[in-house]
Structure 1
Amino acid sequence: MRTLEEVQATLEIAKLKEEDLQKSVQCLSFGDSVSSDDYCLMELDDTLCQHIEAGHSLVIRGDKDEHAVLCSGDKTYDLKIAHTSNLLLLLPGCKTHEQLTNSQDSTHVIDANIWGFCSSYWEVRRHRPRLKKLLRVLMENPYEGPAIAGQQENTENTVIRALQYTMDDLLETIQASEEEIKNHLKTLHACQINGFWRVLDPDYEMKLVGHVTQLVDSESWSFHKVPLQTSLEELGPLEPREMIEHCFNCYGTRYIENGEVFYALDEAKVCRATALMLLNNAVKFNLGEFQEVWQQSVPEGMSTRLDQLKSVALVDRTARPETICLLNVQDLPEDTLERFNHLFTLREKWTEEDITPYIEDLCGEKQTTGALLTKYARSSTQNGTKVFNSRRPIST
């Protein structure tokens, strides 16, 4: 342990004036078993510090082949190692000059024991949740309707159960916070069946939508006022009641009038689902013919519009005749660079109006689609219209 006289002698050799320094002198020494491998440091912002101080936890998620992310209850953060030229020392119980009660006294020596050291630390940055995997794992075993008695053997049931996921299973598998996962499950129209989260098979989901819209047409109901109880009584013999009600929750808004439950069907959602069903049956569709068939396929009173198909269908105005094809943003790569490369293999030049729906989900906090286009695309003018193409050659 150093004495005050030894400290003063060191200051004199270093040509430092004692009056220019704090009154408390920290003398550092290494412990008997200090190692750089014993500790990892992480830099947190005020929000995450308050999260920890409030008693909440942070979870690191990711499989061995995935880049790890850090999740709070409602946000996802990217983890990156940051190196520093200054050695970071871990000194438990160490206090600054301001924290010492006798900081105003004469110079005194404090011995501090070093427990560990690091030359790097984990840097945490807000990041988009990685949710593409959620649909992929749920589509391993989509719900196709109630099983027919005796249709599946016990061995098959065992395999199917292995492909079902509880919320805890999803939290172990998906790199996102619990709130972000729950919100995306709603977007995917997933529901809980026997305690497991399931997505509906697309054909089965459209079958449910068809039952509901056909009933609305046959009863001449306004799609703004569809009675739940009557619908369940009429459709109950065809499909499980909980599935009918789930369909109403996905494609409508629930309200109560005079003690009776009604649903107002969402025009945009119903029209969008109907369009997806039609587009799934063709690689490309003549735009004029498609719009005519589409309008005829939705309930009376609903109006189809192309803006209802943003991020799921792409119109080619340069073709003669004009065409429309299926292009769902959920089927595109999750990585930003891969997404742009894929889009530019599909079409060499994009207008901002066409490409925006397919890159909006890539925007991080305080980031705009304009900033993404500036970074990953090059703009030019074609026939008086601003278009974007790739900054690098794209192999097709």
Structure 2
Amino acid sequence: MFKVRFCQFFRNLSALLFLLIITQFQLSAQQLDATFSVEPGNLGNFRLKMVLNQPATFQFSGNYSNVQNAFSVIIKNVYNSAPSGGFAGATGLTYTTSGGKSGSATSMGTYAATYGPFIHTTDEVIAFSLAPSTTIASGETLTIPAGTVIQSLPGNYTAGQTFNAGPYTAVIANSAFSGVGATMIPTPVSNTAPTIGGASAGQTVNDNATISPFSAITVADADGDNLTATITLDNNAKGIITGASSGSGPYTITSRTPAAMQTALRALVFNPTDNRTATSETTTFTVVVNDGTDTDTDNTTTVIASAVAPTVTSVSSSTGNGTYKVGDAIAVTVTFSEAVTVTGSLQLTLETGSVDRVINYTSGTGSSTLTFSYTVQAGDNNADLDYVATNSLGLNGGTIKDAGGKDAILTLAIPGAANSLGANKALVI
């Protein structure tokens, strides 16, 4: 048994057209996959057997009646040299077109002469009949299933029949061999859609931190097709994703193997927008994975971003270190972890000797640094200016909030600690 494969060039783009020298006709190269063999007949003779390994669908380009044979499949350059047998009857296929027109394979073999570009002595020809008083309409299709066996009657071939090494093409000609009678169209290939798993809901993060929301996600494709992905936030204002190929919501990851796609998704980082609320906010992510034919969509992944209250990071002074007397002004600054908005008259209590001084807020709202003003008074005495206690910063009826409306935490470091005032400003009477 010798297997030959009939090739279609530029698959999925267009059929390759052969330029004819003798006529103006064009022959459409067809893709077939068939196995040919010479099988014993009766009385020591042999028949040609063709088994179609893949389904073949032909779309007719004209109207065909049952005059002579309706159409013929001409397989180009099958043989090294012309077989000795010629034509014989053929069996093995009874067909019905998409329009309900029926017929069968009637003959199979080679012509002893060349008919222009359509038939040569080394070509194999299979002729098909059409039921009486029937016309195949232009645009109708005929599908020959995979596994179909078409074979000639015994007597036309010998056991030593040889075949050309290929490549091979097939042409469908009309009954008069005067033009292309049908075009082979691609048979749809079954496809298994990709799958998404491992998505996680209810993941938590502070709004000033980041998270990898797809760290446990899985993607697979049973066909092994390359995948592309799109990731969409329910509201782009809730944050940004880094690590994607492109996009600012939706985000995309370009074509890659399923394993590489899984790795890329797991590496994505989500940074929630700071200070959108005073409490928390949930972001829902929709992931769509496409294999070029089918998609899978998952919107299980959610992240809950909790608002983080502003905190005091340091208390210091922009006034230089030194010794100060009554009437001297010293600026004291309180720095927060983020920008804050101030309302009212904030106060800070300083350790200034026998009488502690309460100083007032002067500026800084909308920034992360608030400024207070202190003027040295009679009786003030401290070798190293500092505030009194961890609760020395007071609202005095006012507020300190971040952009999301979260109230600031006013706790200060223990006096004398590294991030307490520690201004090295000696106060004298």
TM-score (norm 1): 0.19
Q: Which has the higher strand share?
A: 2
More helix by share: 1
